[in-house]
Amino acid sequence: MSKKTTFIQKNELTKKSLKEWSLVKKCSYSESINFWLDVVSPLIMEANFHHQTAVEIERNTVLALKEIIKNSSLEEEITRAEVILQTIWDENIRRKEEILDDNIYLHKLKGNIIGKYEMEGIECKAKEIIEKFGAERLIWIYTDRRVNHKRLKAGGISNLIIIKKLNYGGYYFDINHVIILSLIEISMHGADKAIKKKGVVLPHSYTCWIPIYHTNNMVVMLPVIEESMKHKSCNEKSVLTVINPFNEEVKNV
C-alpha cells in the first residue's frame, strides 16, 4: 500500500538531476523520486552494516547486477544496470572533486576546432594533475569555449574529471568511446536510439551507456562493458580525453 510522504529537497543539483531523469525516462517528477529511492534503499541498508569490507560490498554489487541481467526483461535490465553502473562510476571510478581550468591558448586554425597549441597546453596541465593525484586518466570537458581569430586565441572554462581507475567488479568503463549527445535527442528517442541515429561506428555492443556530464543541453555518454568482452581498442593507453561539446569533438591522447 502506497503512503504519501512529503519532504523538502534543498540541494539544487539533486533537483536538477531528478528533473532531467524524468525528462529522459518520460515519467513524472514524483515517479523519478520513487525510482531512485527504491534504487538506493538497498545501498543504504548495506551501508548501515558498516562492518562489511570493501571486497564484500564489491562482490555483492556485482552479484546483484548479474542477477538483474539474468532475471529482468530487456528494458528493466538496461535501466537497472544503468543505475548500478552509474553508482559504481560515482563511487569507485571517478574522484569526487572536479578541477576548474580557464586558460587561453594560441590558435592559428581558420576553423573553431581544437588546434595544436591548445592541445599542447591542455596536455601539459593534464600531466601535472595526473601526477599530483596518481590518477589513471583525466577527462577534460569544455563548458564554455571561445575562439578569437583576430587575436589568434582560443580557450575558456573547463571542468576536469579525475579518473582513479577504469574497471571495477569485472566491468570496464570505456572512456575511449564516449559520445556527445543532445539532451533533446535523448528525450525524444532514448539514449540507445539517439546513439544509433548519430551513426557512430563502435567496436562492439555495450552492457549499457551512462551519462557522466551535462553541459549546454549536451550529454556526455560513457559506454560500459564486461571486462572479458571488451575489444582490443579499449586497451589503448590514452591518459587524457578532451571533450569539446561545441564542435562535438572527442580527442584521446
Full residue range of the structural domain in which residue 205 is found:
97-252
- Alpha helices by DSSP H, the chain: 12-25, 29-48, 54-71, 74-88, 116-133, 183-189, 191-198
| 51 and 157 assigned to the same domain | no
> Is residue 27 situated within a structural domain?
yes
> Is residue 36 situated within a structural domain?
yes
> Is residue 173 situated within a structural domain?
yes
Write down which residue in 65, 93, 121 finishes a domain: 93
> Which DSSP category does 3 fall into?
-
Write down which residue in 59, 93, 127 finishes a domain: 93
> Is residue 4 situated within a structural domain?
no
> Is residue 2 situated within a structural domain?
no
| 226 and 162 assigned to the same domain | yes
User: What's the grid cell of residue 223?
Assistant: 559506454
Query: pLDDT for 207-223, tens place per residue?
Result: 889 999 988 889 999 99
Query: pLDDT for 85-137, tens place per residue?
Result: 998 999 999 998 889 999 999 999 999 999 999 999 999 999 999 999 999 99
Whether the full predicted model's pTM is greater than 0.75, yes or no, is no
Write down which residue in 72, 93, 114 finishes a domain: 93
Work out how many domains the chain is built from and give that number: 2
Query: pLDDT for 136-152, tens place per residue?
Result: 999 999 999 999 999 99
> Is residue 5 situated within a structural domain?
no
